Amino acid sequence: MIGTLLYLTASRLDLQFAICMCARYQARPTEKHLHSVKRIFRYLRGIVNQGLWYLKDSSIALTAFADVDHAGCQDTRRSTSGSLQFLGDRLISWSSKRQKSAAISSTEAEYITLSGCCTQILWMRSQLTDYGLGFNKIPMYYNFTKALGKERIKFHINKMGMQSFKPETLKQLTDEVDE
């Protein structure tokens, strides 16, 4: 069953993490792992007509996103790295891998993730340069914090004395500086 699901990870990004987590326990699966695999098959049954869709457009900006689940594996305490690379609005490459060693800190796990994503971006840039597409700056986004609720974000913004400006307010402020 896992082999069939692993085949799908080549074109189904939404399944990659869950399938790879189940694949780690192929040698000695438990009842819990079997339920997880069945849940993936139930999910697939519900989204049979969905998949990747690449629209024709003129945008060719290369962009990358990365994140890590520090010490996410309860058995080995290894982190799982994930990254996405887009060419314009089209997803062209992705990765979800368990890191080879257990990171001592979340910073170390993040560094490993970013270096892997950067390696992929540099390879992609060299390939695209061979096709005649040049890229000077390639934005790479990474979130170094956990997702916070809206109320918690407002609390932190208030405590730090930060202000959130609307576009109209920013325009007024820049006009005042220009005068």
Q: Residue 50 to residues 11, 37, 41, 90: CA-CA distances in angstroms?
A: 11, 19, 14, 16
> How much is the average pLDDT of 26-44?
92
- State the pLDDT at residue 134: 85
Give the residue among 85, 39, 80, 81 at the shortest CA–CA distance from 65.
85
- State the pLDDT at residue 88: 86
> How much is the average pLDDT of 165-171?
68
Give the residue among 90, 88, 66, 68 at the shortest CA–CA distance from 79.
68
Report residue 13's pLDDT band, with 50, 70 and 90 as the boundaries.
Answer: confident
- State the pLDDT at residue 119: 93
pLDDT at residue 11 greater than cutoff 90: no
- State the pLDDT at residue 147: 62
- State the pLDDT at residue 178: 60
How far is it, in rounded angstroms, from Cα 62 to Cα 85?
A: 7
- Decide if 116 contacts 83 (C-beta within 8 A): yes
- pLDDT per residue as tens digits for the range 109-167: 989 999 999 999 999 999 999 989 888 889 999 876 666 677 776 777 777 666 666 66
Q: Give the number of C-alpha atoms closer than 13 A to the C-alpha of residue 13, restricted to the C-beta side.
A: 13
Q: Residue 72 to residues 80, 97, 106, 152: CA-CA distances in angstroms?
A: 7, 12, 11, 24
- pLDDT per residue as tens digits for the range 42-86: 999 998 888 767 677 667 889 999 999 888 888 889 999 999 999
Higher pLDDT, 40 or 10: 40
Q: Which residues pair with 140 in a beta bridge?
A: 64
Domain 57-147 in CATH 3.10.20? The answer is yes
Each domain of the chain, given as residue ranges in start order, spans 1-52, 57-147, 149-179
Task: Tell how many helices (H) and how many strands (E) occur in the chain.
Answer: 6, 4
Any idea how long the chain is?
Answer: 179
